[in-house]
Structure 1
Amino acid sequence: MNCILGVDIGTTNVKVLAFQPETGQIVAQASAPLTTLHPQPGYAEQAPDDVWMHLVNVLEEVCREVAQENGQIEAVGISSAMHSILAVDTTGKPLTNAILWSDNRAEQQAASLRSDQADLGKDIYQKTGTPLHPMIPLCKLAWFRETNLRFLRRATGWISIKEYIWHKLTGKYQIDYSIATATGLFDSSGKKWYAPALEFAGVRIEQLSEPVPTTYAGTLSNPDLPDAITNGLANAKLYIGASDGCLANLGAGAIEAGITTITIGTSGAIRRTSQRPLRDEKGRLFSYILNVSDPTDKNYYVVGGPTNNGANVLQWVSEKLTQSETSAVLAEAATVAPGSDDLLFLPYLQGERAPLWDASVRGSYLNVDWQHGRAHFVRAALEGVLFNLLRIERILSRHTGPTKVIHANGGFAQSEFWVQMMADIFGVPVRLNESNESGAIGAILLAMKAAGQVSSLVEATRHVGFGRTFEPDAECHRRYRQVYERFEKALP
């Protein structure tokens, strides 16, 4: 039994899957939860060594399971969350926690690039494809420049949590093109660090890792790992992989034109795969590298927009607004007709990334009427999340063409009611992925391409499984088109 491992270093969990290409089955898997620290309001951090410890534990568990079945691990692909940053010293010891994407301490630095330094901000966006927001390392490093310049300059390296893990595994400081394009510091066309961005951030190029393609292969060189890992990966190539967003698109089977991926977990994202980079005239969409510089395949970029407001809105409705169980809330919403009798909800409970890119914006109900009861407020909230994603999709479609089908995953997919609402609002079929572990699966598929087991990423997606397809209701879609027009006019 030959296997490929997919490692997914997320914000809430670390996961490892073992995939058997011959059968197309996941033969072993393990995960562990991660703790996010909030030392001050607006801060979000994780301890790098805690992430490493949990990864070692789940990797050891999967290696043991594969060994018990006399399996052979041929390759490992790695997926990781984007936008984290931490400092290390000359020995590789962390000098800070990893500052996560959800950390908003750099609001002023991001605002500066949109206002008094707008020309520089536009230039950086055009070069990097990264929207200007407190989440990106560019702004976080600028925060250190303004609050602790000596420390910024004294640190030997400024790296992401993925680079920290890669260094622990291979002994090298390297960053894949995909993670690099999400920093706001990387010239995605030149495949190098962008000097004006580094100057704004206050870092030197020698403090940053070596950029490498997402198919780059390394070797395990950590003598302190458990025997199960050392023996299990003795003959395996370690492929550096890409970011979770890019690999989630690949793992969702969304590599060809007309396929849009929507993921709704606590937050959410809408993404398309493109053979060229994208630049939105207003800087609202990201454009990250999935796979380039590969003479055996096409260049691929993952383009789209993330939202802060996904299933956390349902959580708010359940816990704060109705104080009811989620299942009861969803059942109550189903008693109201599509459009919630003209009640609108702007779902910006935690600021917003796409399409507004405004950390200070907040949500609201509009058109509140005497006839509206609790069920209306619930349904309008669920519709508002999808209307916001539709707004991003309309901007995206201007650059990449219309959506023909949606591949959907994430926690929201457990609700048939909410998935059907998505089909009705977007007016296209919605296919559910068989597995919600699209990031780890994407890492496996990219590793298969890098190892030569498939000839292209399109061929790799043939290994992706699907569940039910939800068809849109024409009458509901007609009604939603009218409601959406009012939603769009109400956007700040």
Structure 2
Amino acid sequence: MITGSPASSILAIDIGSSSARAALFDEGGNPVEGTLCRVTYRLDTGSDGRAEFDPEQLADRIDALLDRVHQAAAAPVRAVGVSCFWHSLLGLDASGRPTTRVSMWADTRARETTQRLRERLDAMAHHQRTGAYLHPSYPVARYAWLVERFPELRNVVRHWCAFPDYLFARWTGAYRTSVSMASGTGLFDTWHLRWDDETCAAVGLDPQLLPEIGDGEAELVSRYAARWPRFAAAVWYPAWGDGACSNVGSGAIGSDRATIMIGTSSAIRTLWRGEPLVVPWGLWLYRLDRELVLAGGALSEGGDLIDWIRQRFVLPAEPSLWEQVRALQPGSTGLLWLPTIAGERSPGWPVDARAALVGLRLSHDGVAVLRAALEAVACRIADVVDLLLAVRPEVEVFIGSGNGLLGVPGWTQIVADAIGRPLVLATDPEASLRGAALVASARLRGVPLEQLARSDVRSWARVTPVAGATVVYRQLREAIQSLRTALEPRR
């Protein structure tokens, strides 16, 4: 990997659902050696469906992370770019202090509220305007649930925002959200680039309580400028959605490229400069900014399902585990997973989904259960790929990324076989972090993002599908869909 000069220009921050990373980069998007720092944390989850963070604790952890990067900075930086998880929600009082916890996309407590919203609103029309869904994973549904469950919030909350908007206000004093972050709320008209009045009215939310939408930069307030003097003269940009930044950092920019990412969850995305398009039910439509559009689908399952299995089944130690998993032939386990253990987003977007594992016999062991899970996730990814290709047939290159996909031996081959297309493997494990650096650099220099981010992928590792396996997985996809249909009334 090329490394940047110690006289760096860009501070990049990537805030994920289980860890945050920050590092210095040069203007070409090359990391400065010795500056990458990381902090981990845990989402607060419970049997009631909650998935939350304490906003001040998380903000303090990220501030401490930046303290460490600041110590490693040899010179002042010129710009700061932030990648952050989409779909979070919290309330602030008049002075900007949190009045709620940060609810995340995995929070499912809004299930019943969402069902009532779907009975009152035209879900298809909402999807076409906002690119999002009436679904518990979106802030629009969780806001409706919060004020229904805690009506006193209507009197104490003066601002509703995403977690990175709170950070931006804390650091700069500006109450602002990016076009990118707004596009993932279900409250934003992605065609006209404004809050969607019809949706806001339907859930009783005054748009004046939402942040100003804008991608303009700001500077640190005095107390942070004193804390981080080498960041004080930099321009700070409102956070961009981590999925869009991941595409940028993976070199997947342009209508002929798409990424297949598996981390905790999974996503399939394509990013292009131009007009938005009407996407079918199953896909979403977000933005990186006013000019760059992101379409794709998201699965709630990915590495989380693999971790769940590894925690609950008796499995051999590595590397023998993965050797045994890879030794099994495609579709040979006799097991069928409906892998929606964390709920379902794409392609169906049901309000309340459950997972299922069928076909178990006494002869099955944990290795077979794990192999079947890897195949089931890959098959559902293939379903979303087909939806995407129906509206973006020009996509020719699929770039695989994410610690889940690249960190599980053999999973890249299973995914390539399931989609029936070659999979090019991303070279940077910190794609979202690098993407934030590249977006900030492009804005700082006033150059097209494609000039910095569109990588030559011809020399990257490539996984070629096996035709016979693709046929097997096509049959497996049909079986999973049949299982899903059979269980639908019970969800």
TM-score by length of 1: 0.90
Contact residue 315 and residue 326 of structure 1 kept, 8 A? no
Once the two structures are superposed, the pairs formed by residues 119-130 of structure 1 within 5 Å of their partners are: 119=122, 121-130=123-132
Secondary structure of 1:279's aligned partner: coil
Deviations 1:398-432 (A, max 9, x none): 11116422211222202331112112222222222
Q: Could you tell me how far 1:355 is from its partner in structure 2?
A: 1.0
Once the two structures are superposed, the pairs formed by residues 209-288 of structure 1 within 5 Å of their partners are: 209-213=211-215, 216-221=216-221, 223-225=222-224, 227=226, 229=228, 231-274=229-272, 275-282=274-281, 284-288=282-286
Query: Counterpart of 2:375?
Result: 383
Q: Could you tell me how far 1:241 is from its partner in structure 2?
A: 3.8
Secondary structure of 2:261's aligned partner: strand
Number of residues paired by the alignment? 475
Contact residue 346 and residue 365 of structure 1 kept, 8 A? yes
Q: Could you tell me how far 1:441 is from its partner in structure 2?
A: 1.2
Query: Counterpart of 1:334?
Result: 326
Contact residue 350 and residue 359 of structure 1 kept, 8 A? no
Give the partner amino acid of 1:103.
D
Higher normalized strand content (fraction of residues): 1
Q: Could you tell me how far 1:14 is from its partner in structure 2?
A: 1.8
Contact residue 253 and residue 454 of structure 2 kept, 8 A? no
Structure-1 separation of matches of 2:235 and 2:456: 22
2:103 to 95, 99, 103: 99
Q: Could you tell me how far 1:349 is from its partner in structure 2?
A: 1.6
Structure-1 separation of matches of 2:46 and 2:355: 25
Query: Counterpart of 2:393?
Result: 401
Query: Counterpart of 2:489?
Result: none
Query: Counterpart of 1:111?
Result: 115
Once the two structures are superposed, the pairs formed by residues 125-274 of structure 1 within 5 Å of their partners are: 125-213=127-215, 216-221=216-221, 223-225=222-224, 227=226, 229=228, 231-274=229-272
Secondary structure of 1:309's aligned partner: coil
Query: Counterpart of 2:60?
Result: 53
Q: Could you tell me how far 1:325 is from its partner in structure 2?
A: 4.2
Instruction: Give the RMSD, CA atoms, in angstroms.
Output: 2.3
Structure-2 separation of matches of 1:463 and 1:404: 15
Structure-1 separation of matches of 2:46 and 2:360: 38
Query: Counterpart of 2:19?
Result: 13
Secondary structure of 2:414's aligned partner: helix
Structure-2 separation of matches of 1:268 and 1:359: 18
Query: Structure 2: any 5+ residue segments left out of the alignment?
Result: 1-6, 486-491
Q: Could you tell me how far 1:122 is from its partner in structure 2?
A: 2.6
Secondary structure of 1:353's aligned partner: coil
Give the partner amino acid of 1:7.
I
1:316 to 308, 318, 334: 308
Query: Counterpart of 1:469?
Result: 462
Change (3 A) 1:370 1:32: closer
Query: Counterpart of 2:433?
Result: 440
Change (3 A) 1:75 1:421: same
Q: Could you tell me how far 1:29 is from its partner in structure 2?
A: 1.2
Deviations 1:170-205 (A, max 9, x none): 101001111111111111222211122112222212
Structure-2 separation of matches of 1:425 and 1:26: 38
Q: Could you tell me how far 1:134 is from its partner in structure 2?
A: 0.5
Structure-2 separation of matches of 1:479 and 1:245: 30
Deviations 1:258-289 (A, max 9, x none): 3221111121111112433243343x211111
Q: Could you tell me how far 1:370 is from its partner in structure 2?
A: 8.0
Contact residue 145 and residue 201 of structure 1 kept, 8 A? no
Secondary structure of 1:334's aligned partner: helix
Contact residue 267 and residue 312 of structure 1 kept, 8 A? yes
Secondary structure of 1:225's aligned partner: helix
Secondary structure of 1:220's aligned partner: coil
Change (3 A) 1:427 1:139: same
Secondary structure of 1:162's aligned partner: helix
Contact residue 225 and residue 232 of structure 2 kept, 8 A? no
Secondary structure of 1:291's aligned partner: coil
Change (3 A) 1:321 1:85: same
Deviations 1:139-182 (A, max 9, x none): 11111232222322431111111110000111010011111111
Query: Counterpart of 1:77?
Result: 81
Contact residue 329 and residue 378 of structure 1 kept, 8 A? no
1:24 to 25, 30, 38: 30
Query: Structure 1: any 5+ residue segments left out of the alignment?
Result: 293-298
Query: Counterpart of 1:352?
Result: 344
Give the partner amino acid of 1:90.
A
Query: Counterpart of 2:488?
Result: none
Contact residue 87 and residue 95 of structure 1 kept, 8 A? yes
Q: Could you tell me how far 1:367 is from its partner in structure 2?
A: 5.0
Structure-2 separation of matches of 1:370 and 1:61: 53
Once the two structures are superposed, the pairs formed by residues 476-487 of structure 1 within 5 Å of their partners are: 476-487=469-480
